[in-house]
């Protein structure tokens, strides 16, 4: 039985008991004009027990793939310490949004996106907790707030090496804040576009493979980055949709990846069949949270299940960290959460 189901059942029992008592209380009121003290006290006790249970309940890691099947991964209670020669790829749980932190085999760092504006404090805390002092390469995949919202805070708090964003015009306050933060620190913005080999970690390769063309849709302008270390590889896709995917497939560029970040939070407009075929992932990561778009969609989940691709989701597993030793992959699920100024 899943932990969520147990919680739901206990919740239902407590709510049922409280409801029953409340009913009795009202019945007494009707009959005698006032209810006995013991009934009120009992109702109070039931509600208190309920509140205490939910307050004290240990952190959920919800290790399911949405279909209730457990996902392979070890839960860790402290940040994973990278051993020499290991590369880490963190898919940080920013709710509905995206953020990935990469630490290369020699310790160089890359941050791709930083979640929404309201997650900036959390992102800074996450990076500090992970022992990050400098972001060697910072990438804003495209100007949407759920990706670049936290970038200004990251720029304010950490040393930044190079900073890449695609050439897209945007006049949102969020975008202006990012540009202003960069300007204040004298950081120039390099253009994120296809065929740029990033000077990152000497042990790994990191290449921007998209955007290939000039697209009118902001999502399609997303920087797509392929990172490879030894025999392991990752494709980080921003919100690139089927147009960009089609051009990527047609370009013949190497898209092969063991781990695919599913485009646009699992929207139907991404993860087209030929693209998925060419990437050929073993794992799919979906960065989504509470949203009104229906992300990830049942169609995308069914498509991934149909190809026996293991799905990991931030909304059910929290922070997801892949550990690569250049040959094989290990998965760590990190239940760390940051709520209102403090870590849970
Ligand atoms: Zn997005």
How many angstroms separate the alpha carbon of residue 323 from the centre of ligand 1? Answer: 25
Q: Is residue 24 located within the same domain as residue 140? A: no
Q: Is residue 163 located within the same domain as residue 202? A: yes
Evaluate whether residue 66 is within a structural domain: no
Which structure tokens are listed for 185?
């620190």
Evaluate whether residue 64 is within a structural domain: no
Number of domains in the chain: 2
Residues 6 or more apart whose CB falls under 8 angstroms from that of 256 comprise 233, 278, 279, 280
How many angstroms separate the alpha carbon of residue 291 from the centre of ligand 1? Answer: 11
How many angstroms separate the alpha carbon of residue 114 from the centre of ligand 1? Answer: 11
How many angstroms separate the alpha carbon of residue 215 from the centre of ligand 1? Answer: 16
Q: Is residue 40 located within the same domain as residue 129? A: no
How many angstroms separate the alpha carbon of residue 164 from the centre of ligand 1? Answer: 17
How many angstroms separate the alpha carbon of residue 313 from the centre of ligand 1? Answer: 15
Q: Is residue 218 located within the same domain as residue 282? A: yes
Task: Provide the residue range defining the domain that includes 112.
Answer: 74-343
How many angstroms separate the alpha carbon of residue 108 from the centre of ligand 1? Answer: 26
How many angstroms separate the alpha carbon of residue 141 from the centre of ligand 1? Answer: 9
CATH number assigned to the domain comprising residue 259? 3.60.15.10
How many angstroms separate the alpha carbon of residue 325 from the centre of ligand 1? Answer: 30
Q: Is residue 250 located within the same domain as residue 316? A: yes
What pLDDT was estimated at residue 36? 61
How many angstroms separate the alpha carbon of residue 168 from the centre of ligand 1? Answer: 15
Q: Is residue 267 located within the same domain as residue 160? A: yes
What pLDDT was estimated at residue 53? 47
Evaluate whether residue 201 is within a structural domain: yes
Q: For the chain, what is the mean pLDDT?
A: 87
Evaluate whether residue 91 is within a structural domain: yes
Q: Is residue 41 located within the same domain as residue 133? A: no
Residue 48 gets which letter from DSSP? H
E-assigned strands of the chain?
A: 74-75, 87-91, 100-103, 109-112, 134-139, 159-165, 189-191, 196-197, 205-210, 224-229, 232-236, 259-261, 283-286, 310-313, 319-324, 329-334, 338-339, 342-343
Which structure tokens are listed for 8?
């739901």
Q: Is residue 117 located within the same domain as residue 21? A: no
Q: Is residue 231 located within the same domain as residue 292? A: yes
Q: Is residue 284 located within the same domain as residue 310? A: yes
Ranges under pLDDT 70 in the chain:
1-70
Evaluate whether residue 218 is within a structural domain: yes
């Amino acid at each position: 039985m899943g932990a969520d189901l147990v919680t739901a059942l206990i919740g239902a029992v407590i709510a049922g008991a409280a409801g029953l008592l409340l009913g009795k209380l009202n019945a007494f009121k009707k009959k005698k004009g006032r209810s006995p003290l013991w009934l009120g006290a009992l109702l109070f006790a039931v509600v208190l027990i309920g509140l205490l249970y939910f307050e004290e309940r240990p952190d959920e890691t919800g290790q399911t793939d949405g279909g209730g099947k457990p996902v392979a991964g070890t839960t860790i209670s402290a940040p994973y310490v990278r051993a020499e020669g290991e590369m880490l790829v963190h898919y940080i749980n920013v709710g509905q949004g995206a953020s990935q932190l990469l630490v290369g085999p020699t310790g160089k760092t890359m941050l791709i996106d930083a979640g929404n504006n309201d997650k900036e404090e959390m992102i800074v805390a996450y990076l500090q907790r992970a022992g990050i002092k400098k972001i060697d390469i910072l990438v804003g995949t495209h100007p949407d707030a759920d990706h670049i919202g936290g970038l200004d805070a990251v720029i304010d708090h950490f040393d930044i090496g190079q900073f890449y964003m695609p050439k897209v015009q945007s006049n949102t306050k969020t975008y202006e804040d990012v540009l202003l933060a960069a300007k204040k620190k004298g950081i120039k913005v390099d253009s994120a576009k296809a065929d740029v080999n990033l000077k990152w970690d000497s042990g790994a390769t990191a290449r921007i493979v998209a955007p290939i063309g000039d697209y009118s849709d902001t999502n399609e302008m997303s920087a797509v980055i392929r990172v490879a270390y030894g025999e392991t590889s990752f494709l980080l896709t921003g919100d690139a949709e089927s147009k960009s995917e089609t051009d990527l497939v047609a370009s013949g560029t190497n898209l092969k990846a063991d781990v695919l970040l599913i485009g646009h939070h699992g929207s139907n407009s991404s993860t087209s069949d030929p693209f998925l075929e060419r990437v050929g992932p073993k794992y799919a990561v979906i960065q989504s949270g509470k949203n009104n778009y229906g992300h990830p969609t049942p169609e995308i989940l069914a498509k991934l299940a149909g190809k026996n691709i293991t799905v990991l989701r931030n909304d059910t597993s929290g922070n997801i960290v892949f550990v690569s030793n250049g040959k094989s992959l290990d998965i760590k699920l990190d239940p760390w959460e940051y709520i209102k100024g403090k870590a849970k």
